[in-house]
Amino acid sequence: MARLYHVPLSPFCRKVRLSLAEKKIEVELVEERYWEADPDFLRRNPASKVPVIRLDGKLLTESAAICEYIEETRPTPALMPDTPEARYEVRRLIGWFDDKFHHEVTANLLYERVNKKITGQGYPDSGNIKAGAKAIKYHIDYMAWLLDRRRWLAGDMMTLADFAAAAHLSALDYISDVDWNRQSVVKDWYAKIKSRPAFRSILADQVPGFRPPPHYTDLDF
Amino acid sequence: MARLYHVPLSPFCRKVRLSLAEKKIEVELVEERYWEADPDFLRRNPASKVPVIRLDGKLLTESAAICEYIEETRPTPALMPDTPEARYEVRRLIGWFDDKFHHEVTANLLYERVNKKITGQGYPDSGNIKAGAKAIKYHIDYMAWLLDRRRWLAGDMMTLADFAAAAHLSALDYISDVDWNRQSVVKDWYAKIKSRPAFRSILADQVPGFRPPPHYTDLDF
């Protein structure tokens, strides 16, 4: 069985978990306190970050590379479209969420509020929180712009781009940082993806010291 | 003809330029002062970053997605290997350089010394410079560890992973931040890649106010 070293609210780990679950690949989850730089963990991944997955007898790191590998070795159900143009759009959006959204939103909100506390780095910086709260509005509007034109973020099928976005938003939703009333088309998209069986394990996560809002697990939020 | 909006020392732009040149795709280079957020540029790329490329009648952004698109639409000469396992390793290393190396080294050295001055953001932070100078040693040692076992970074063929690494190192070499005497196997690898015709346009870059060291363009450095 596959084994995933992860932390529950990491959007990069959640993206991999969603991909595994959608493809019905059973996985054992192991929580990894990566910031403690345990020598065993560093041996598994010299980059000392999560996710790290043991799959097909190998240890794999870097969530984008892991998801492409899973897609190539387990192509059904497909999470990447057929044409180079459509695959480009999926990869562009994965880059958008895992780089731009991550730095502008996730780092400013989730890492300030949760990671700093868990890793003993002190209190949230209110300037960063404010920057993140401002930036997420712009990103939700950009998602709405896309979803006004397409069924899913990258086109007419659900892809890894939707999982990348949902991974970030679900982690931010756990700490009540997503205003679902801002754009109904984004809320509808999230309701669709949240109701998939692949989402169940993510919605069951509990982080000690942080209680999610009641709507977090509610499929009719 | 393709048109690339770029800045000369951006490692992400250099990676795309190397990929285009290796595949003999002619490209017109347009320098883009992305930090001035010109409305025309923002229309081309709402993420307001470079590279942006006009290719096949479309505007493409995000260097990783662009390189995969070029690879899928122009597969010869191949810059990605055949098997999912080998492709995983290429993508893992692209992630390593464009995320970890970028944040630990390129941002601390190149952005402090060059980008801050060009974009009018003041003086380099000596703490960041020190952190970058320390981190690059560890990364060069990691590259040596890989190259002791393989002809190229990701295996026995030259791939996008080599271009990702060479793009960062060449930009840092322009400002004399690479100690080529640290690991001879890394120097030998860079000499091989630097002597490719694809590297010529990169070595011809000039950034006003910054003069590269004499060895920068020397193939026998």
Contact A68/B60, CB-based, under 8 Å? Answer: no
At residue B87, the pLDDT reads: 98
Residue A197: pLDDT over 80: yes
Domain(s) labelled CATH 3.40.30.10 in chain B stretch across 2-73
Yes or no, beta carbons of B68 and A91 under 8 Å apart: yes
Q: What percent of chain B has pLDDT over 90?
A: 87
Cα distance between residue B102 and residue B138, in whole Å: 13
DSSP sequence for A154-197: TBSS--HHHHHHHHHHHHHHHTT---TTS-HHHHHHHHHHHTSG
Alpha carbon of A98 to those of A91, A116, A160, A182: distances in Å? 10, 20, 12, 22
Residues of A in contact with B65 (CB under 8 A): 88-89, 91-92, 94-95
Mark out the alpha helices in chain A (DSSP H runs). Answer: 11-22, 39-44, 63-73, 84-95, 116-118, 126-147, 160-174, 184-194, 200-203
Query: What's residue B38's pLDDT?
Result: 77
Of B61, B91, B92, the CB nearest to A92: B61
Q: Residue A84 is nearest to which of B46, B47, B72, comparing CB atoms?
A: B72
Instruction: Please indicate whether, in this complex, the C-beta atoms of A92 and B60 are within 8 angstroms of each other.
Output: yes
Q: How confident is the model at residue A159 (pLDDT cuts 50, 70, 90)?
A: very high
Record: fold of A84-196: Glutathione S-transferase Yfyf (Class Pi); Chain A, domain 2 (1.20.1050)
Question: A181 to chain B nearest CA, in Å?
Answer: 23
pLDDT of residue B152: 98
CA distance A5 to chain B (A): 17
Candidates A69, A85, A88; nearest CB to B88: A69
For the domain made up of B84-200, the CATH class stated in words is: mainly alpha
Q: Do B72 and A60 touch (CB under 8 A)?
A: no
pLDDT value of position A37: 72
**Top-ranked range on mean pLDDT: pick from A35-44, A170-179, A212-221, B206-215:** A170-179
Q: What is the pLDDT of residue B45?
A: 73
The token pair at B185 is: 């196997």
Task: Determine the pLDDT at residue B39.
Answer: 79
Nearest Cα of chain A lies from the Cα of B153 at a distance, in angstroms, of: 16
Count of CB atoms situated within 10 Å of the CB of B28 = 10
Contact (CB<8Å) A88/B66: yes
Mean pLDDT for B128-153 is: 97
Residue pLDDT, tens place only, B47-59: 778 999 999 999 9
- pLDDT band at A204, cuts 50/70/90? very high
Q: What is the average per-residue pLDDT within A174-189?
A: 98
- For residue A81, whether the previous peptide bond is cis, meaning omega lies within 30 degrees of 0, is no
Residue of B nearest to A66 (CA): B88
Tell me which fold the domain B2-73 belongs to: Glutaredoxin (3.40.30)
pLDDT at B151 over 90: yes
The interface pTM score, or ipTM, of the predicted complex is: 0.95
What is the per-residue pLDDT across A97-115, written as a single tens digit (0 to 9) for each? 999 999 999 999 999 999 9
Q: What is the mean pLDDT of residues A113-130?
A: 92
pLDDT band at B158 (very low <50, low <70, confident <90, very high): very high
Question: Quick check: A48 pLDDT over 80?
Answer: no
CB contact under 8 A, A92 and B68: no
User: How far from B97 is each of A186, B61, B101, B161, B167, CA to CA, in Å?
Assistant: 33, 18, 5, 8, 9
Predicted pLDDT at B220: 86
Give the integer Cα–Cα distance in Å for B111 and B106: 7
Q: What mean pLDDT do residues B32-39 have?
A: 80
Q: With contacts defined as CB-CB under 8 Å, which chain B residues touch A85?
A: 58, 69
- Tell me how close the Cα of A89 comes to any Cα of chain B, in angstroms: 8
What is the C-alpha to C-alpha distance for residues A60 and B188, in angstroms, rounded to an integer? Answer: 28
Name the more confident of A63 and B42. A63
Averaged pLDDT of chain B:
94
Select the residue of B65, B85, B96 nearest A88 (Cβ to Cβ): B65
Average model confidence (pLDDT) for chain A?
Answer: 94
**Cis status, amide bond into A51, omega within 30 of 0:** yes
* B72:A87 CB<8 A: yes
Question: What was the pLDDT predicted at A220?
Answer: 86
What is the per-residue pLDDT for A43? Answer: 76
Nearest-CA neighbor of B174 among B143, B206, B140, B197?
B206
Chain B residues with CB within 8 Å of chain A CB: 46-47, 49, 58, 60-62, 64-66, 68-69, 72-73, 84-85, 87-89, 91-92, 94-96, 99-100, 142
Q: Is the Cβ pair A72, B58 closer than 8 Å?
A: no
Q: Is the pLDDT of residue B120 over 80?
A: yes
Given this model, what pLDDT does residue A38 score? 77
- How close, in Å, is residue A66 to chain B by CA atoms? 7
For the residues A78-88, what does the mean pLDDT come to?
98
Tokens of B199: 């590297």
User: Omega into B51 within 30° of 0, i.e. cis?
Assistant: yes
